[in-house]
């Protein structure tokens, strides 16, 4: 997998989670109160694509919640030069 994400809350870390179809993706049931903070660390490994892993990349991380109909999408972009 070239892209993984880890969720960190006051209760600890969950993950890493990756792309569907590459390996089993665990699900978690994590409650985050309105006044609490959480962070998501995203890691992109261009070497996972071999020599074709250079150039502009755009990756999305989706967060599904019970309170939203559509998942929250976090996007990051990079220009891989080597």
pLDDT tens digits for range 15-65: 888 776 666 666 677 888 888 999 999 888 887 777 777 888 888 888 887
pTM above 0.85, yes or no: no
Q: Give the domain extent around 14.
A: 3-80
Per the model's pLDDT, the better-predicted residue between 74 and 46 turns out to be 74
pLDDT recorded at residue 25: 63
Q: Please state the domain count of the chain.
A: 1
In the numeric block, the tokens 């990079």 are attached to 78
Cβ atoms within 10 A of the Cβ of 9, count? Answer: 14
pLDDT recorded at residue 20: 67
* Beta-ladder partners of 13: 8
The answer, yes or no, to whether residue 74 has pLDDT greater than 70, is yes
């Amino acid at each position: 997998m070239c892209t993984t994400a880890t969720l960190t809350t006051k209760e600890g870390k969950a993950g890493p989670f990756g792309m569907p179809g590459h390996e089993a993706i665990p699900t978690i049931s994590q409650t985050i109160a309105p006044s609490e903070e959480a962070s998501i660390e995203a890691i992109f490994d261009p070497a996972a694509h071999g020599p074709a892993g250079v150039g502009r990349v755009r990756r999305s991380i989706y967060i599904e919640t019970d309170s939203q109909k559509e998942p929250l999408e976090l996007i990051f972009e990079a220009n891989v030069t080597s």
